[in-house]
Amino acid sequence: MTTSRLLSTGVDAQTCRLIVLEREVGSMTEFKQIVGRGTRVHEDTRKYYFTLIDFRRATNHFADPDFDGEPVQIYEPGEGDPVVPPEQPEAVQDATDDSTPPAPADDETVVAGYPPPDISLPPIVAEPRPKYFIKGRPVKVLTERVEYLDENGKLVTESLRDYSRNAIRAHYASLDAFLRRWKGEARKERVMEELAEEGLPLEPLMEEVGKDLDPFDLICHIAFDQPPLTRRERADQVRKRDIFTKYGPQARAVLEALLAKYQDEGVVGGLDNVKLLEIAPFNQMGTPFQLIQPFGTKAGFEKAVHDMQTALYQEA
């Protein structure tokens, strides 16, 4: 199995500032997934860059044309050479050139039709989706496959679903084992972090299966064939139980806004993350201190959120 270990200043992929590659990274898809965790901008922590430390020459993938086209420059410093590459020769085309690439010819099989992103631009820059053509006609990617070497050195090719299913079952032998781990962890996102650390980030799988699923339902559905509920369905179950009646009106307003944010967007980093109170719609309701005050203390706020999370998965 080829994988990486991720070290970060925060707890989620958005704040990941340091990626340490300690094992072989075999496929281009896996390399892009690993690097993708670092390239996400996270304004709350002023994370506009990341550092990649490579012990296994996996960064050679950057020079592969399959990554994002022909490399602008390849620099391999020798002993005593500076780490920073020399200035690029004038003959190299400016990376900011926005000229449109020519359309693929009829005899071309697959062509990626987008220029590499310019990371020197201001922070919020969405990486465009690649465009593919077969015989000049645009096509969409319907499924992805994962390749890796098993314990006997044999190359194994699986669909993303099958690979994810096997990887999750290797970590949790049964549905009961997974449910015990999930219900026993106050910070549910820690379960996803553990899977990502073992080479199974859930983002690509969520792209394929459906973004409106909670990670819990995604795991149960893919690995243990359980019928999934959408985030909206889980939020509606909590509303029907009316669990907020023991709180005052201000505290209820905060919890209901958190539940709505979970339903509409999902929450990376946990519902009890106080930084959530600094963004919309919470920043229009008051300061984080004012929003936590009705719960008594920060610990009281976290307990109320954990109780709401328990209610979200009560029927599981």
- In the prediction, which pLDDT does 24 show? 67
Reading the chain (316 residues) residue by residue, the pLDDT tens digits are 333 344 333 334 455 666 666 666 667 777 777 777 777 777 777 777 777 777 777 777 777 777 777 777 777 777 777 767 766 554 444 545 555 556 555 555 544 444 544 544 444 444 455 555 544 556 454 555 656 555 666 665 677 788 888 889 988 999 999 999 998 887 888 888 888 887 777 877 787 777 688 999 999 999 999 998 999 999 999 999 888 988 999 999 999 999 999 999 887 667 888 888 998 899 999 999 999 999 999 999 999 998 998 898 886 5
CB atoms within 10 A of CB 108: 12
- In the prediction, which pLDDT does 13 show? 46
Peptide bond just before 281 cis, omega within 30 deg: yes
| DSSP SS3 for 105 | coil
- In the prediction, which pLDDT does 23 show? 64
Contact 233, 212 (CB under 8 A): no
Exposed (0-12), middle (13-18) or buried (19+): which is 295, by Cβ within 10 Å? buried
- In the prediction, which pLDDT does 107 show? 58
Q: Please tell me the pTM assigned to this model.
A: 0.50
Residue type (1 letter), 128: P
* Joined tokens for residue 281: 């719609």
- In the prediction, which pLDDT does 241 show? 86
In sequence order, the 6+-apart residues with CB closer than 8 A to the CB of 259 are 235, 238, 239, 308
Count of residues in the chain: 316
Q: Name the helix (H) or strand (E) containing 146.
A: strand 145-149
- In the prediction, which pLDDT does 248 show? 93
- In the prediction, which pLDDT does 136 show? 59
In sign, the C-alpha dihedral spanning 231, 235, 237, 243 is: positive
Q: How far, in Å, CA of 198 to CA of 192, rounded?
A: 10
Contact 199, 1 (CB under 8 A): yes
Q: How far, in Å, CA of 161 to CA of 167, rounded?
A: 10
Phi, psi values for residue 29, rounded to 5°: -60, -45
- In the prediction, which pLDDT does 121 show? 41
Structure-derived torsion over alpha carbons of residues 173, 179, 180, 183, reported in degrees to the nearest 10: 150
Q: Name the helix (H) or strand (E) containing 147.
A: strand 145-149
Q: How far, in Å, CA of 101 to CA of 267, rounded?
A: 38
User: Residue 296: which region, alpha, beta or left (left: phi > 0; alpha: psi -120 to 50)?
Assistant: left
